[in-house]
Amino acid sequence: MSSVYLENKIQGANRSRDRFLVLLKTRGPQTSAELGAEFDITDEAARQQLVKLANEGLVEGVSEAVGVGRPAQVWRITPAGNARFPDAHAELTVQLIRSIRTELGEAAMDRLITARENESRVQYSEELSGAANLQERVERLAAIRSREGYMAEWRETEYGYLLIENHCPICAAATICQGFCRAELAVFQEVLGPDARVTRAEHILTGARRCAYLITYSAPTPDYV
């Protein structure tokens, strides 16, 4: 699994609260013990940090059944916590999309999405050029997407590869115009090559905490984690 981006984000976070938010954003719900082990502090010290974040509305603790014993308390990031991560000028973007649809029509919106898709295809193809195999292409694509703000990582699975995007910097735009998501999937399919098949396995817009793409040489299977 590629974790360079995650490590850089954690190292670059000066305050404990930022480090905790980054980890919860990229890895999903965690117990205080898991977070303490990650940062080499005690369970109680981690819990105190989490309580402070909860008081600010950035995280919340919920009970979750784990095995046969009593439920464990796990901590997860809240919508307010997610809002601490950039969303590419969300309000302005939404206003522009609405104005384009109102003033120029849906066809104009489609042309803009197609233009963005073509630009991404050219850029990604250039940066993936010369990759030795599918794994290297996936690795390079994850690096590009991280650079663009998607907090991307990749891992090898039994069936191929999983490209994970822990954040969507254009989520507001994609929410009101899902053509952006369709275009991205089409670009991934093309630049990863004819020997790859790309399937979206998780989608933020359907309630998932991240977007994830299963990349295989054959028909994908849902048991990818």
pLDDT in tens, 96-153: 778 887 888 888 888 888 998 999 999 999 999 999 999 999 999 999 999 998 999 9
Q: Is 201 found in the same domain as 103?
A: yes
pLDDT for 202 beyond 50:
yes
* The predicted structure's pLDDT at residue 27: 83
What count of residues does the chain have?
225
* Distance between CA atoms of residues 65 and 31, nearest Å: 12
3-state DSSP call for residue 44?
helix
Q: Is 152 found in the same domain as 48?
A: no
3-state DSSP call for residue 86?
coil
Mean pLDDT taken over the chain: 83
Q: Is 181 found in the same domain as 110?
A: yes
pTM over 0.85: no
Q: Is 211 found in the same domain as 100?
A: yes
Q: Are the CB atoms for 63 and 70 separated by under 8 Å?
A: no
* The predicted structure's pLDDT at residue 223: 53
Is residue 26, in this structure, part of any structural domain at all? Answer: yes
Which residue do the tokens 């522009």 mark?
96
Residue 178 structure tokens: 């899902």
CATH number at residue 48: 1.10.10.10
Q: Which of 30, 61, 82 finishes a domain?
A: 82
Q: Is 64 found in the same domain as 150?
A: no
Is residue 134, in this structure, part of any structural domain at all? Answer: yes
Is residue 22, in this structure, part of any structural domain at all? Answer: yes
Is residue 127, in this structure, part of any structural domain at all? Answer: yes
Domain tally, the chain = 2
3-state DSSP call for residue 82?
helix
Residue 166 structure tokens: 């822990």
pLDDT in tens, 46-90: 889 889 888 888 888 888 776 666 788 888 888 778 777 766 566
Q: State which residues form the domain around 18.
A: 4-82
The residue ranking higher by pLDDT, 224 or 41, is 41
Which residue do the tokens 């005690």 mark?
42
